[in-house]
Structure 1
Amino acid sequence: MPELVSRRITGHAEEFLDAFRVVIVNGPRQSGKTTLLQQFNEGREGTYLTLDDGPLRSAAQADPAVFIADGSRPMMIDEIQRGGDDLILAIKAEVDRKAERGQFVLAGSTRFLSTPSLSESLAGRAGILELWPFAQEELAGTGESFLVTAFNDPEALRSSSLSDYSRRDYFELVCRGFYPEAVTMRSEFTRDRWYRTYVQSIIDTDIREMARVDEPSSLRQLLTLVAASTAQEPNMVKIGSDLQLHRSTVNRYVGLLETVFLIRQVPAWSRNLVARAVRRPKLHVTDTGLASHLIGVDADGLAARVSPARGPLIESFIVNEIAKQATWAPFRVGLHHWRVSQGAEVDLVLERNNGRIVGVEAKATDSVNQADFKGLVALRESLGEDFLHGFVFYTGVRSLSFGDRLTALPISALWDR
């Protein structure tokens, strides 16, 4: 059951409580933030409050200084974005008066400190963590993350053991998704209804509370378009034409969907920082179960002989798993994609701040060949010793060496080794 799943971010959260005056836990609704805060509250004997509670929210908005004055520390405030600017300012004033660490833990279902409605960022006072829906590694309860091993000992990933996961197993995981509620549902019908209600509540509550949106239906249409083209570089002009929206409105709506954690942008990579900034990012829906719901595809659909959604959803699945692992890794990792005009491309370029690079390609096939490593070979040749290893993840069962620092891995090697 999800309530028994050990969240890998817990170690960082405990460390942050001892290091910062304020700890901020951001993440999508229904990702497990409330459970995490309640566990901290039990262990630290603090105070837990949620601003989803109407009377508490009204009190926090009416007199924020009094609202935070009572209660043992750390004070855990859930759905903090619903308290408004004055509550953040009151917390800032409180922690500026006292130097103690771990005074507040604030959980938000939006990247609320970056929203225009807030004037205070808590810069220098807060440590920020992201809690996403479950990673398959957390559900499987396995050992060290692929991401850590890929940087510390990539050769260890070349294993002779066979994966227990079939092609169909991956499609089932992709379409099920990783929100705790969705994971517990055995029926595709009930999951579909849950996802529908989930999206509507995000648009009607979280987005409309933080921004004025003239046509909320356009946000859902945009999200559906992103789901249909997940793992691709968006053409904002075409999207605007399809939705009959100005390009600036499309860009704003994309930003809103990212602020509530429904999509992520993976920027283009280059050692030239200017070039990195001007190239288009890829957009990924942050949960493939949600993406599958939005475009109306199930595991049978992905297994069909022709399935346009199969490759993009598998790529987003792999990117999302690695992005989650990056939130609890012991080092900082940047996620990018790489594409040379009319040339090589790599789905995911992982860069540590020491300049070392790991490349990742996603293939929704049961076999791989040398051609599947074309982009990784080009990246290896351009980087030299800074290129640690390149991996092609595929739906087959064997780990296969393809030469110098190049390996094909079953997708399950992300969590099961």
Structure 2
Amino acid sequence: MAYIQRAISKILNTRIQASKCTLITGSSIVGKTTLIKYECSNYNYANFDDCLTRLLAKEEPKLFFINNPCPLFIDEVQKEISVLEEIKIKVDESNQRGQFILSGSQKLELMKGISESLAGLVSIFELNGLSLREIHHISFNRHFVPSQSYIKERESELISYSSIWNLIHKGCYPELYDIDRDWQDFYSSYVATYLEKDS
């Protein structure tokens, strides 16, 4: 799958280097795992979607961390929330930054566990679906400022969104932009069929 650069990458990398622990939340398939694997390829990886990995983390947490040393990225961490207590012990014992990256898609349950175990020790980010800037590879990524210099810089990267309905129907999940077919032809055919039935 071709990686789509995410606008959050720069600030995420900065916070990972400055924090002992980083949490990235967001709904399923918005690209959390892909983002972290791409931006932090030097991290060891454990996925709590795997029941044996979860069981080891629950029953033998010290052995789990021997087998999965820091720096460590734990995916879907909310599926075994008890591991957060062991993570707290580890980050309390060390001044090293960037030890853990955690991801999860069940925000309420996850935030409850984080607030109880890692309050004050974790940087939290939320990843959403692809923005129009990300879809069209626009590098301009500044908050709006009502000034001439901002408008001039923004205008230098303006593009025409001629297929806005195509984008609306296709959605913002990264996986949809890796489908091996010409989506425009598919969409045009779909619209033509729909209009034909409606007439």
Q: Shorter-normalised TM-score: what interval? A: 0.7 to 0.9
Which residue identity does 1:122 align to in structure 2? L
- Segments of 5+ residues of structure 1 without an aligned counterpart are 192-297, 304-417
Deviations 1:192-235 (A, max 9, x none): xxxxxxxxxxxxxxxxxxxxxxxxxxxxxxxxxxxxxxxxxxxx
| 2:72 paired residue among 70, 75, 84 | 75
Q: Which residue of 2 aligns with 1:30?
A: 29
Indicate how the Cα distance of structure 1 residues 34 and 161 shifts in structure 2: closer, same or farther if over 3 A, else same: closer
Q: Aligned residue pairs: how many?
A: 186
Q: Tell me which amino acid in the other structure corresponds to 2:174.
A: P
* Unpaired runs of at least 5, structure 2: none
Give me the TM-score of the superposition, normalised by structure 2: 0.78
C-alpha deviation, 1:161, in angstroms: 10
What is the deviation of 1:299?
6.2
Q: What is residue 88 of structure 1 aligned with on the other side?
A: 84
Q: Partner residue of 1:57?
A: 54
Structure 1 partner of 2:124: 128
Per the TM alignment, residue 95 of structure 1 is displaced from its structure 2 partner at its CA by: 0.8
Counterpart position of 1:100? 96
State the shift of 1:134 in Å: 1.7
Q: How much does 1:170 deviate?
A: 0.8
What secondary structure sits across from 1:37 in the alignment? helix
| 1:153 partnered with 2:147 | yes
The residue aligned with 2:174 is 180
Name the Cα RMSD after superposition: 3.2
Measured in 1, the distance between the counterparts of 2:127 and 2:21 equals 16
Q: CA deviation at 1:132?
A: 1.9
> What's the CA shift for 1:184?
2.8
Compute the TM-score of the two structures, normalised by the length of structure 1. Answer: 0.40
CA distance in 1, matches of 2:157, 2:101: 43
Name the one with the larger strand percent. 1
CA radius of gyration, larger in: 1
Residue identity over aligned pairs, in percent, reads 29
CA contact (8 A) 2:23 2:123 kept: yes
In the aligned structure 1, how far is the partner of 2:60 from the partner of 2:13?
30
SS at match of 1:24: strand
Q: Partners in 1 of 2:76 and 2:6 — Cα distance? A: 19
State the Cα deviation string for residues 326-354 of structure 1 (Å, max 9, x = none). xxxxxxxxxxxxxxxxxxxxxxxxxxxxx
SS in 1 for 2:55: helix
Offset, 1:7: 1.7
Kept in 1, the 8 Å contact 2:46–2:68? The answer is no
How big is the shift at 1:79?
Answer: 0.6
Q: 1:123, CA displacement in angstroms?
A: 1.2
Q: In the alignment, residue 38 of structure 1 is paired with which amino acid? A: K
Aligned residue number for residue 13 of structure 2? 14
CA distance 1:140–1:98, shift in 2 (3 Å) = same
> How big is the shift at 1:21?
0.5
Distance 1:161 1:104 in 2: 36
User: Does the 8 Å contact 1:46/1:76 carry over to 2?
Assistant: yes
C-alpha distance after superposition, 1:1-38 (max 9, x if no partner): x5331122121121112111001111111111111222
Q: How far did residue 41 of structure 1 move?
A: 4.2
* Deviation (angstroms), 1:102: 0.7
In structure 1, C-alpha distance between the alignment counterparts of 2:124 and 2:118, rounded to whole Å: 10
Q: Provide the C-alpha distance between the structure 2 equivalents of 1:70 and 1:135, rounded to a whole number of angstroms.
A: 37
1:144-173 Cα distance to aligned partner (Å, 9 max, x none): 13x52x22636616969995333xx11110
Q: Which has the higher contact order (CA 8 A, sep 6+)?
A: 2
